[in-house]
Structure formats: structure tokens, C-alpha cells
Amino acid sequence: MARRSRSERLWLRYLILFTWAAFCLVPMLWFLSIGLRPRTEVITAEPIYWPTWSLDAWHMIWRDWPMRAYLINSLMAIAGSVVICVGLAIPAAYSLARYEYRGRDDIGFYILSTRMMAPAIVAIPIFFLFRNLGLLDTVWALMLVYAAINLSITTWIIRSYMLDIPKELEDAARTDGASDLTILWEIIIPACRPGIITAAVIAAIFAINEFLFTLLIASTPAAYTLSVALANFSGGTDGIIYNAIALVAFIAFLPVFLVVLMIQKHLSRGLTMGAVKG
Amino acid sequence: MAAIELQNVVKRYGAFVGVREFSLAIPDEEFLVLLGPSGCGKTTTMRMIAGLEEPTEGRIVIGGEDMTEVDARDRDVAMVFQGYALYPNMTIYDNIRFPLRMRGVPATDHDRLIRRAADMVELGAYLDRKPGALSGGQRQRAALARAIVRQPQAFLMDEPLSNLDAKLRASMRVQIKHLQRELRATTVYVTHDQIEAMTLADRIVVMNQGAVQQVGTPDEIYADPANTFVAGFIGAPPMNLIDGVADGGTFTAPGVTAPCPATLQGKVVLGIRPEDCVVGGGNLTGSVYGVEPTGDMTYLTVNVGTRQVEVKAARDFRAGLDTPLTIGFDPRRTYFFDGATGQRLRHGS
Ligand SMILES: Nc1ncnc2c1ncn2[C@@H]1O[C@H](COP(=O)(O)OP(=O)(O)OP(=O)(O)O)[C@@H](O)[C@H]1O
Ligand SMILES: [Mg+2]
């Protein structure tokens, strides 16, 4: 068999990667192009690939529509839920990874099993729970719900990282005179930082896309996030404003995209390191 | 520094016995080596001294105080781990500093102590690096520096040289011994390398399958092994052990005859060290299996009966394969062990 030359292989590799990148990015760019064209060019018989650029939709969502409030709701709910979630997941994961106690594996499985349940099953109880707590229609409720949904997956991700940390490291810290809390804070958490970052990003992505519970809890626009607000967009007297919807969707997508870009190095290392020792 | 005492220490994992009935007094400033094959319970013993493992039975006394129930962080011993266990996110400087911070040493003393410890192991130039950017030998020295930066009751070292190449191991061995004398530190050192044990130890504890086989100075362990296990573990190559029968003052086995104490009777094991054998003489008859010149001497392997005997021959000894030859030895250099139990049978007893 003839060996392909090095440059030929490289060329092929770039072609494949480029095709894949285009496949992933074109829908996003298409959304952006719809968001940045006048309303008259949205619904046409023939697709318009190069529109008359217009900031109509951009002005519309900020002026006629509570975009700012929704954006703030989204960001608060996401950031708050990630902080709560990771804050609870770290000690839980540590306990599952390190301590021997009765029923540890059952507890571990129970935590994971909350993820397997169809969300609709708990929707009604959660609604009543928050109503009784007087938290309906608040961002606080969203934070708690998102954190609860994400807790299982983040705990398991972080736990798998902690399992990879050699036990000797903790033994060394203990003989050096460190307390359990110091060991967690100064040795374990820094050593599994990629895992914590990975878990946080995954929690944020879940949170930004969450729809069902948000719809349930945010019954008025006071606690609408972008994902729910988007669904309610079409209800106005002006009909469906596709270009504005596309723009909002693009804006909702952007933060996650940027975060992932920034921490890409950690993330890819993180996702593999949990599985393969490295 | 302090003396350490283990009183009837036992460690069981369920039905499996990891360490059985370990009793030993380690005086202050002694360099004690735990020696034994893989899985014999060396690490377990050391971890019990450190407080990382709780003994199933028995007491551990450090510096005259019963420490059996005391947590590792309050025991004040410093341990060097087999895998170095350097904190990966901290620089070497911060690694060495960690025990000082944890033990509440005044911050104003830190820098001086850290640099002194780093200089002792010749690591001063690497203090700003993270462990990942050091070679194996440098990491090893960093781990040592972290242990010696404070003045603990005792040092515990678990196979600290096992990951190094032969040359570095030899030089680190000298360094460790020197450090131990300089710091006058009670040290328990674990290894499965008998050369390391012989060169470093004031006293050696030979262990096998969780049980202490013999405790003694390197010379005692070498010259006066208590059983076939110790005899077969010490020496490079170790003692030849030949199963045979003693009758009326003569030991016989296929291809072997040797005088033995007249009191011996029945199945016994004859032991003779390769360095006490000479080519020629009439105790063993066999043929050459292998000749390995090393420069300063020649390792000779001889087929005798159904087994092989190792001989350290003169440096210019050469012979073709299967050459018949005889091996002799001084009867005063032979050892005899009970054929069934492997216990040493003392001459004249
Ligand atoms: N947590 C545990 N549970 C069950 N058995 C264990 C446990 N820890 C150790 N053991 C067993 O106890 C025995 C002694 O182990 P230990 O680690 O002390 O051996 P070692 O002498 O240090 O060996 P090596 O030279 O390979 O390090 C081994 O047979 C091991 O399998
Ligand atoms: Mg060991």
C-alpha cells in the first residue's frame, strides 16, 4: 500500500475539520443573519442568502421588549445555580470518593438516579413546594431548581476526578498536619480543578437550556429567562417576529459558546481525564 | 527525636492477616529498615506507625506516649511516600512549606527553614518549579526536603528510592544515610532491596507474609540467618539452599556430600553462600550451566543433581558449558536448617 505523504494527510485532516466546523457553525450564522435582516426579508419564497443588513430586530428587542430583564434573570439564575450546585457537589463528591460508610454506594446511585427520572414526574410537586414557600415567580426558585437538577451530574463528574487523585496525596497532607477541611481546600480542590470547571460548564449549559421547570415557576414575565421568554415571543399582536426571535436565540447561545471557547483547554483535558488516568 | 515502640501490633483485613504480632522497640536515633518481599506488610506496618492505618490489636508508643488512638495529623512524624506525593499545584517551595504552615511554625522562620532543607538535598535551584517540571530524582529529593524541613519525632520512608535508576539510587542512598546521621533522626525505612537494607540500616527487620522473620544488625542478618527465608533473601546472589538428608555426621543430596554435625538426623537443608564456594574440592559435583564475568569476579552457575548452585568464582575463571567440575567449601561456613520448618539448626545443638 502506498503511503500517503505527510502534507496530503494534513490537507485531508484540515478538510474534514473544516467541513465539521462549517456543519456546526452555519446554523448559528444563519440565525445571526436572520436576526440582522429586516422583517420583510424573513419570510420569502426564495431564501435570501445575502440580506439587506438591518438592526431593526436589535432595536426592537431592547426597546419594545424587556430583553434586559430577561437577560439579567437568565444570568442570575444560571450563575446562582452553578455556584450552589458546585458548592454542594464538591463536598458530596469528596465524601463519595473518599470515605467508607454504610450505604455509600447506594447513596451515590440514588444521587445519580435523580437524573434518570422523567422531569414531568416531579414538576407538579415542585410547583406546590415553591408555591408554599412563596418563591413562585422568583429567580431564587430558578436557581434552586437548576441547582437541584444539575447536582447529580456535577457530583458524579467531580467524584470521578477525585477518584483519580492518589490517596497518598491526602495521606501526605495528613502526616504534614492538615485537617480534613484543609486537605479538601488546599489539596483536593486545586488538584481536580479541571473537573470542577467541566462540571460547572455542563451545569451552566443545562441551566441555560432549561425550559419545563422555568415555565412552571415563572408564570409571569417577572422571572422569565431567555428560553421561556423566547417561547412567549409569538404571542403579540404583531404576529411572529422571526428576526427578533432568531436574534434572541443567538444571544442566548453566545455566552455558553464564549465560555467554552475560553476554557476549551481545561474542558477537553477534563472530559478525558475523568475516564483515563492522566 | 523519639523512640518508637510497637507492642504486639496486629493488622487484619477481614480474615486476611496483613501484619501479625509485631513487637519491636526502636531506640532514639536508630536507622531501622523493614525488609521483605512485595506484599509482606511493610507499608502496612509503617502506615500504622504514621497513624494512617489503625492496628487491629496492639499499641504503638512514640516518645513514651501511647499514640495508638492518636490521629496521623497529631503524631508529629514525617513520612516520605513511595510515589513522592508532592502536591501537584504547589511549587516546590510551597510543598516544603506546607508542613510548616500546618504545624504552626512562625511565618518568619519559614524561608530560612525551607532554604536550609532544600540545600541539604541540593534542590535550592528548583524551588520555583512545580513538581511536574522535575525529574524523578529531583521529585524524590523534594519529598525528602518536605520531610526534613521540620523536626519531627521520627522519619518514615516507604521505598523512597524504588523509582530511581540504579546510579541515582546509589547516590541517594549515601545522601539519605548522611542526612539521617546529621539530623540524628529516628528513621524507619521500608524497602524490598536487600542491598539498600544492608547499607543503610543500624538494624534490619526481615518480614515475610506479615510475620517478622528476624531482627538484627546487617552483619547478624547476613552471618547468622534465623531461617531459610532470611538466608534466601539476603545476599546477591543469596545463599544456596540444598534439600538433603543428614545421617551420622554426613549430609547427602544428589551430587552433594558434606560433613554436618553428628547430632543432625533426617531431612535438613544445607546452606552455603556463593562467596564461600570455591571451584575444585570435593563437596559438590556438577556441570557448568552458565558463566557470567562481571569484571571484578565471575558468577558461575552449576547444575548439581536436579538443582542449580551459584558460585562466586575468581575474576579470570572461564569454562565452556557443560564442563564437569567440582565445588568445595569450608564446612565451618555451612548452615543447616530444619527440612520441615526451615528454622535454623545451630551447630552443636
Ligand atoms: N486495605 C486493604 N484491604 C485488604 N488487604 C490489604 C489492604 N491493604 C493491604 N492489604 C494486604 O496486606 C498485605 C500487606 O500489604 P503492604 O502494602 O503492607 O505490603 P508491602 O510489604 O508494603 O508490599 P510492597 O513491597 O509491594 O509495597 C498485602 O497482601 C495486601 O494485599
Ligand atoms: Mg509497600
pLDDT in tens, A104-154: 888 888 877 877 878 788 888 888 988 998 888 888 998 999 999 899 989
Residue-level pLDDT at B49 = 95
Cα distances (Å, whole numbers) of residue B163 to A99, A166, A211, B145, B306: 29, 16, 54, 17, 37
Confidence class for position B101, pLDDT limits 50, 70, 90? very high
Domain end residue (candidates: B170, B197, B228): B228
Q: Are residues B223 and B246 in the same domain?
A: no
- pLDDT for residue A277: 38
**CB count, 10 Å around CB of B190?**
27
The CATH number linked to A235 is 1.10.3720.10
Residue whose entry in the numeric block shows the C-alpha cell 463528591: A93
Distance B190 CA to ligand 2 centre (A): 8
- Interface predicted TM-score (ipTM) of this complex, two decimals: 0.84
Rg of the Cα atoms in chain B: 24
Number of structural domains in chain B: 2
Residue B155, classed as helix, strand or coil, is strand
Are B273 and B284 in contact by the 8 Å Cβ rule? The answer is no
Which H helix or E strand runs over B298?
strand B298-304
Residues B87 and B67 in one domain: yes
Q: A193 contacts in B (CB within 8 Å)?
A: 89
Strand, coil or helix: B295? coil
Q: How far apart are the C-alpha atoms of B111 and B150, rounded to whole Å?
A: 12
The reply to whether B243 and B197 lie within a common domain is no
Q: How confident is the model at residue A276 (pLDDT cuts 50, 70, 90)?
A: very low
Domain with B334, as residue range(s), is 239-345
Taking CB atoms and an 8 Å limit, are A174 and B73 in contact across chains? Answer: yes
- Predicted pLDDT of residue A4: 63
In a domain, A39, yes or no: no
CATH code, domain carrying B184: 3.40.50.300
Query: Hey, is the C-beta of A178 within 8 angstroms of any chain B C-beta?
Result: yes
Asked if residue A188 lies in contact with residue A174, where contact means CB atoms within 8 angstroms, the answer is no
Whether pLDDT at A1 is above 60: no
Contact B204, B198 (CB under 8 A): yes
Give the confidence band of B7 by pLDDT, cuts at 50, 70, 90. very high
C-alpha–C-alpha distance, residues B108 and B285, integer Å: 72
Q: Are residues B211 and B253 in the same domain?
A: no
Q: Please state the pTM of the whole predicted model.
A: 0.81
pLDDT digits (tens, 9 = 90+) for B104-114: 999 999 999 99
CA distance B53 to B49: 8
The reply to whether residue B85 touches residue A176, judged by beta carbons under 8 angstroms, is: no
What is the band of A10 on the pLDDT scale with cuts at 50, 70, 90?
confident
pLDDT of residue A272: 54
The reply to whether residue B52 touches residue A175, judged by beta carbons under 8 angstroms, is yes
Rounded average pLDDT over A35-49:
83
Q: Which of A31-40, A132-141, A254-263, B84-93 has the lowest mean pLDDT?
A: A254-263
Tell me what the mean pLDDT of segment B323-329 comes to: 93
pLDDT of residue A215: 84
For a pLDDT cut of 70, what percent of chain A falls above it? 92
Measure in Å the smallest separation between the Cα of B152 and chain A Cα atoms.
Answer: 10
On the 0-12 / 13-18 / 19+ scale of CB atoms within 10 A, B9 is buried
Has residue B40 got a pLDDT over 80?
yes
Q: Provide, as residue numbers in chain B, all residues whose Cβ is less than 8 Å from the Cβ of A273.
A: none
Distance between CA atoms of residues B55 and B41, nearest Å? 12
- B89 vs A177: CB contact, 8 Å cut-off? no
pLDDT band at B236 (very low <50, low <70, confident <90, very high): confident
Q: Are residues B125 and B222 in the same domain?
A: yes
Final residue in a domain of this structure, among B228, B250, B270? B228
Residue B219 forms part of a structural domain: yes
Highest mean pLDDT (candidates A220-234, A246-260, B245-259): B245-259
Give residue A274's pLDDT: 45
Å from CA of B40 to ligand 2 middle: 8
Residue B116 CA to residue B15 CA, distance in Å, equals: 47
pLDDT-wise least confident of A187-196, A217-226, B27-36? A217-226
A147: left (phi over 0), alpha (psi -120 to 50) or beta: alpha
Q: Which residue, of B206, B228, B250, is where some domain finishes?
A: B228
d(CA B322, CA B309): 14
Q: Quickly count: other Cβ atoms within 10 Å of residue A198's Cβ.
A: 24
Instruction: Please report whether residue B321 resides in a domain.
Output: yes
- Residue A193 in domain: yes
Q: Do A172 and B79 touch (CB under 8 A)?
A: yes
Is residue B144 predicted with pLDDT exceeding 80? yes
d(CA B238, CA B228): 11
Confidence grade of residue A275 (pLDDT, cut at 50, 70, 90): very low
The string of pLDDT tens digits covering residues B266-306 is: 999 999 999 999 998 889 999 999 999 999 999 999 999 88
Looking at residue B273, which CATH number applies to its domain? Answer: 2.40.50.140
Instruction: Report pLDDT for A119.
Output: 79
Mean pLDDT along residues B223-229: 95
For residue B12 the three cell numbers come to: 487484619
Torsion angles phi and psi, residue B21, rounded to 5: 40, 60
Contacts of A135 (CB under 8 A, 6+ apart): A141, A144, A217
Task: Give chain A positions within 8 Å (CB) of B102.
Answer: 173, 176-178, 182
CA nearest ligand 1 atom 18, residue: B41
Range of lowest pLDDT (A80-89, A101-110, B10-19): A101-110
Exposed, middle or buried: residue B189 (CB in 10 Å: 0-12, 13-18, 19+)? buried
The Cα B328–Cα B202 span in angstroms is: 33
Q: Are the beta carbons of A185 and A154 closer than 8 angstroms?
A: no
**Does residue A233 have a pLDDT over 80?**
no
> Using CB atoms, which residue from B83, B89, B98 is nearest to A176?
B98
Q: Does A13 map to a domain?
A: no
Question: CB–CB of B199/B163 below 8 Å?
Answer: no
Domain that holds residue A91: 65-272
Q: Which residues pair with B78 in a beta bridge?
A: B155
Q: Which residues contact B44 (CB under 8 A, 6 or more apart)?
A: B11, B18, B19, B53
User: Is the CB–ligand 1 distance for residue B255 below 6 Å?
Assistant: no
At residue B347, the pLDDT reads 63
Cβ atoms of residues A175 and A237 within 8 Å: no
pLDDT score at A260: 81
Percent of chain B with pLDDT over 70: 99
A 10 A CB-CB count for B318 gives 12
How does strand B187-191 pair with strand B154-158? Answer: parallel
B285 and B330 belong to one structural domain: yes
What is the mean pLDDT of the segment spanning B152-169?
87
Which backbone phi and psi does B212 adopt, to 5 degrees?
-70, 130
Ligand 1 site, residue B16, Cβ cutoff 6 A: yes
φ/ψ (deg, to 5) at A157:
-65, -50
Shared domain check, B171 and B31: yes
Atom of ligand 1 nearest to the CA of B42: 21
Any B CB within 8 A of A171 CB: yes
Higher-scoring residue by pLDDT: A278, B105: B105
Per the CB < 8 A criterion, the answer to whether B333 and B276 are in contact is: yes
The DSSP bridge pattern shows strands B335-338 and B266-272 to be antiparallel
Indicate the average pLDDT of chain B.
92
Same domain, B43 and B171: yes
Which of B12, B16, B19, B192 to mutate to test ligand 1, by most ligand atoms within 8 A of the CB atom?
A: B16
Test B85 with A178 for CB contact under 8 angstroms: no
Is B234 inside a domain boundary?
Answer: no
d(CA B77, CA B154): 5
Residue of A169, A178, A190 lying closest to B102 (CB–CB):
A178
Q: Nearest residue CA, atom 5 of ligand 1?
A: B13
Q: How far is B116 from chain A (nearest CA, A)?
A: 18
In a domain, B233, yes or no: no
